[in-house]
Amino acid sequence: MSQSNTQSIRREVARRVFADEFNDASYTFKESDDERAPVYLLLPTGEQANRVFFIGTLTEKDDVGEDSEWWRGRIVDPTGTFFVYAGQYQPEAASALRELDAPAYVAVVGKPRTYETDDGDINVSIRPESITEVDSVTRDQWVVETAERTLDRIDRFDDEANEYARMAREQYGEDISAYTQTVITALESLEADDELGSPTTVESSPQP
């Protein structure tokens, strides 16, 4: 059936991935030769990510810029740490980082970026499109949602038709059992919270 041409430029989906898996990713690729074609980060569980959405605790923020503002934020989920960098070309995210007080629960929409260190390692970070403060309930929902999406990817990993899984096997190896463990770790942290009472009703950051 005729799909409307107006939909040809589709917005990229924001993938849900825990910090642990995200930081293991290093391979990027394009799906066309066009200079402006989107760049995708290949996730080890076999999915492409041009955009990610995550919620975590902003634990530190620093202006590491020399001539102009260049904010770095450390955002922690139950499995690891996301690094976000925002400068003058991400004015909204930069001003959010400037104004937020750590610790705070924040939701981040952004694009994966990779860079090579002096040692030749590939590090991955996020260039944020938005950073907004949220509460702990929303954060817990992200943990569950991200667990579900990660399990979905693990389910599809052995599917012959899954080309990203095939790429992931070539780039990162066959064994993805670590990411099942990541999911369990993340969910067990919610379980532990529950047993401690209900911290989910506590506001994330005290107002000054």
Partner 1 sequence: MTDLRTHAAEIAAQFSDHLDVSEDEVETKLNTLVSEYKVPVDEAKRSVTNSYLAEAGIERDEIGRGGTEEVLVNDIDADEQWVDLRVKLVDLWEPRSDSISQVGLLGDESGTIKFVSFSTSELEELDEGESYRLSNVVTDEYEGRYSVKLNRTTTITEIDEEIEVGDNSDTVEGALVDVQSGSGLIKRCPEEGCTRVLQNGRCAEHGEVDGEFDLRIKAVIDDGNAVHDVIFNREATEELTGIDLEAAKTMAKDALDTTVVADEIRADIVGRYYSVTGPTLGRYVLADAFAELDGPAEYENVLIKARSI
Give contact residues for partner 1 (rule: CB under 8 A).
1-2, 4, 6-7, 10-16, 53, 55, 92, 106-109, 129-130, 132-135, 137-138, 140-149, 151, 154, 180, 183-184, 187-188, 190-191, 200
- Residue number with CB closer to partner 1 (116 or 148): 148
CB of 187 to partner 1, least distance (A): 4
Between CA 34 and CA 42 the distance in angstroms is 19
Residue among 117 and 137 whose Cβ is closer to partner 1: 137
Task: State the minimum distance, in angstroms, from the CB of residue 32 to partner 1.
Answer: 20
| Nearer CB in complex with partner 1: 7/117 | 7
Nearer to partner 1, 77 or 140 (CB): 140
Smallest gap from Cβ 108 to partner 1, in A, equals 8
Our CB check for partner 1 shows the closer of 90 and 146 to be 146
Q: Write down the least CB distance from residue 34 to partner 1, Å.
A: 21
Least CB distance from residue 67 to partner 1, whole Å? Answer: 26
